[in-house]
Chain A
């Protein structure tokens, strides 16, 4: 077999594999660092989903004899002022972060796509007015909007998810709108307009599939952002109320009072948070470089 034939055979084999597998192969080959971050991210999701199996103790299991114990084999991250195992609490915290991170990021992306696709495709006065609204919205710090809304709706899981998805959804619509505007002028869109396809059909069949890369990237980076902001809110006592062990909540409240006796209380939750957000960011960057080269360096 000649070298060319061999190369062709290898290519054939490559093409026969499922596209998703091909993509995974590219990810590991071209972005090993990003792939490692992706694996770390999967571990986090797994830990969150199976928190009740993996955690050695319950998240609210009080044990007065084991108060403020330093990290050991029995208590990997140590214990808090009520003798609760910090490792278990962090695992259950991961579960809350997974639930909030994924559902809010998903809803936010849906909202971004709805606003972005409609304004980008329809354009005209509707677009202009919506863009001024988004301008105005973006001049408020996310945290200030969230605090103001939570002051009205009160803290709690469903409220937090709703508020976060709305806040991030509006902010993200810009990115989707940009992508739609560039796809809108393609020949195939004009072609289907000229054969009389309805707007919804064009949006659904032609625009949406072609803006999938930025949508996937937006979703991934949003998961990290949502987790970070949610923990900020919980830290301020405005997130999911105790006894739910959110990572932000673990760093505030009674935990903060006892940190001087047990510094591990200040260390573990923040470390979990940093590692997960770091992994999400690196993974998101790698995805963006592979899927959507135009967005490179945009953040």
Chain B
């Protein structure tokens, strides 16, 4: 409960950040919007546009109107399509969520075994190779990896990732086939940090007395590592997964653009190209809320993972 109350000021600041960033549109941008978008010039006059953006009122009033709308679930309407922003966002959110979830799973599948191996074989050649690999993954930009996945397999084997999006509900297998390649690209860059963290935590846990006890009573190595060491080492790793949520969503934006996946990222980029500010604001805010929610869930999941936290 206290955790929820602490969220209130953060939410307030988050809304202020979104508001201040997008609402400080200078006047010449409005002229540019009108000249760039023929459709807009036909449909809206300058005054109408200013009014649609809510820029004709004083700043504080604008904020209050906007925040009251958000609380009622009204995120405004797209400037050019007049579709409610909330509807657009809700359409796209599950797509990005799916991509992020698969990427997270891929990241963990890569990171955990290598991290554990690296810790158990500390300072061996294998450990050194694994660590260098993880620092390298950290440096490879995901958009470059994505571009190469698009280009090289098609030149060498005539194979390229699917880019015609199919909804999960329509054809789950086709949908997963499409998602898995971008998810691997996204997951690979995430796994680097998790790998390092797993290694560090495992090293710390492996030095504990209870590990020595477990070994002394003759348990085999695998059991000690899986049941005694990894379970304890994983707790900080879970926090890290929470901290990675912004990275995951940020990465998804670029990946969606490369693999043409109609998620939040593509929605945002299209909106930026068309200068559709209500959509930009909506996506911006939704992404922030999603990250906060994920972090809240991570905090709460501590109790499940670590009984010591529950009793406190």
Q: Which residues of A contact B (CB under 8 A)?
A: 129, 132-133, 135-145, 147-152, 154, 224, 228, 231-232, 235-236, 238, 248, 251, 256, 259-260, 263, 266-267, 269-270, 273-275, 277-278, 281-282, 285, 297, 299
Would you list the 10 A-B pairs with minimal beta carbon distance, nearest first? A141-B250, A270-B144, A136-B13, A278-B139, A143-B250, A141-B246, A136-B14, A277-B139, A151-B272, A139-B291
Q: Which residues of B contact A (CB under 8 A)?
A: 9-14, 16-18, 21-22, 24-26, 29, 135-136, 138-141, 143-144, 147-148, 150-152, 154-155, 193, 196, 200, 246-247, 249-251, 253-254, 257, 268-269, 271-272, 275, 277, 280-281, 283-284, 287-288, 291-292, 295
Are B287 and A141 in contact, with the CB atoms below 8 A?
yes
Taking CB atoms, residues of chain A closer than 8 Å to B155 are 260, 263
Q: How far is the CB of A124 from chain B (nearest CB, A)?
A: 16
Please name 24 pairs of A and B residues whose Cβ atoms are closer than 8 Å in the assembled complex, sorted by A: A132-B9, A133-B13, A135-B13, A137-B14, A139-B10, A139-B295, A141-B246, A141-B249, A141-B253, A144-B249, A144-B283, A145-B17, A148-B281, A151-B272, A152-B24, A235-B254, A251-B147, A259-B150, A259-B151, A260-B155, A275-B139, A277-B139, A278-B135, A278-B139
Main secondary structure of the interface of B (DSSP, over half): helix
Which single member of B11, B141, B151 contacts A231 (CB below 8 Å)?
B141
Are A228 and B141 in contact, with the CB atoms below 8 A?
yes
Q: How far is the CB of B125 from chain A (nearest CB, A)?
A: 15
Taking CB atoms, residues of chain B closer than 8 Å to A154 are 29
Taking CB atoms, residues of chain A closer than 8 Å to B17 are 133, 136-137, 140, 145
Among the interface residues A152, A235, A266, which one has the most CB atoms of the partner chain B within 10 A? A152
> Known contacts A140-B246, A251-B147, A278-B135; is A147 also within 8 Å of B13 by CB?
no
Are B246 and A270 in contact, with the CB atoms below 8 A?
no
CA–CA, A257 and B200, complex, Å: 43
Taking CB atoms, residues of chain A closer than 8 Å to B257 are 236
Taking CB atoms, residues of chain A closer than 8 Å to B11 are 136
Taking CB atoms, residues of chain B closer than 8 Å to A297 are 196, 200
Taking CB atoms, residues of chain B closer than 8 Å to A273 are 141, 144
Which single residue of chain B is at the shortest CB-CB distance from A282? B135
Q: How far is the CB of B266 from chain A (nearest CB, A)?
A: 11
Which single residue of chain A is at the shortest CB-CB distance from B11? A136
CA–CA, A162 and B196, complex, Å: 32
Taking CB atoms, residues of chain A closer than 8 Å to B246 are 138-142
CA–CA, A143 and B16, complex, Å: 18
CA–CA, A86 and B253, complex, Å: 27
Are A238 and B151 in contact, with the CB atoms below 8 A?
no
Q: How far is the CB of B53 from chain A (nearest CB, A)?
A: 11
> Known contacts A236-B269, A281-B139; is A140 also within 8 Å of B291 by CB?
yes
Are B287 and A151 in contact, with the CB atoms below 8 A?
no
Which single member of B21, B136, B250, B284 contacts A278 (CB below 8 Å)?
B136
CA–CA, A154 and B28, complex, Å: 11
> Known contacts A132-B9, A248-B143; is A139 also within 8 Å of B151 by CB?
no
Are B10 and A263 in contact, with the CB atoms below 8 A?
no
CA–CA, A231 and B10, complex, Å: 30
CA–CA, A248 and B142, complex, Å: 11
Taking CB atoms, residues of chain A closer than 8 Å to B283 are 144
Taking CB atoms, residues of chain A closer than 8 Å to B268 are 144, 147
Are B287 and A137 in contact, with the CB atoms below 8 A?
no
Taking CB atoms, residues of chain A closer than 8 Å to B295 are 139
Are A151 and B136 in contact, with the CB atoms below 8 A?
no
Q: How far is the CB of B25 from chain A (nearest CB, A)?
A: 6
